[in-house]
Structure 1
């Protein structure tokens, strides 16, 4: 499955009209209630490499994120912290000259204890309202998951998925900013998928990010994430963090 995804991305990466790569160094934390409800949630640094590509065929966004690189932070109650690898690839293949796209998205989260991979296939649409840009869509969800303490695993179709991505650029105090809100939800998950990771039938994450450009290539980011039954974390919670990054 992942080999086919990489092959598809390679075919689409031709004649880019606009491209940007960035590297973020940041730190994320959780509220005390979130840590109480989710044993795997603990404060830690992260490193994130991202790439965006816009061309005649559509757009590609991808990143690889290392959480707790070097395993420098301990988990809760003095347990060893684990390196967690997260990767995301989103392809919106424009349908003719319309504002609609064929949509393919893959998200992977993995460490020594738990793994989950979600592949979405569906349709999205792009809309602009002045400076506000919105991308929204829905499709089917194919998931693979495993949890080593129980030897439980799942691999198969698991309900549907929906996304809403909004971006609004603005200027304030002589600096350029961008406010983004990203919603992602899964509906009607398979029973075995739920049992493997302790999920509910419905799960989501809602990420709000404020990016501020300090120079043409250096920026800061503040993020606030609310989630429930998401990212191999079974219960709801709030994550927040800060990062400094460079685009090149």
Structure 2
């Protein structure tokens, strides 16, 4: 049996390095990826393309003279529950991908990434909307950076000609501050240094310290640190 994570959640502030870690894993040969990182054939679920579709649809509706469905003219959600809807949608996409797995297919790891700020319910609200049937298959990699580092990298990566790009999208400073300056990760993870309690289930997690930004270059330093933290996470997965 190939020892790989089933569903791996990558959580962090915006621009902390989630997409860069995924990009690094995608470019690592499968055999090496399995051996070093316990990550198999890749499937990806990210809520950014989902919410970007909402932005585009609202812009089209406004141009048509119709009421916006999701966001106001400044791009803020009209309803807080839309953040939770994205989590429900993520879980739906994971289950749809599961449906297509056939006997004999290579072992697969589904990578799920999202960010949440206290302003819109934080991780506590997001975790309440994870599918209970999936929680027993999940492990969490939290990439830790400060608010100042998130702001710096958000500014650096933003490409105005590709605002819909996973690796090059960004937020205006004021919006980033309002939505993501305050986070509740320290609170939701405070009770146990190795396991989160989500809907009464024990979910292993590990923290990847990216204060020195080893993710941007996607070099050997990233691989070494990622191997170390995922090895620890795998041990916690085996003991859950």
Same fold judged by TM-score > 0.5?
no
TM-score computed with the length of structure 1 as normaliser: 0.29
With CA pairs under 8 Å and 6+ residues apart, which has the higher RCO, 1 or 2?
2
Larger strand proportion of the pair: 1
Larger helix proportion of the pair: 2
TM-score computed with the length of structure 2 as normaliser: 0.29
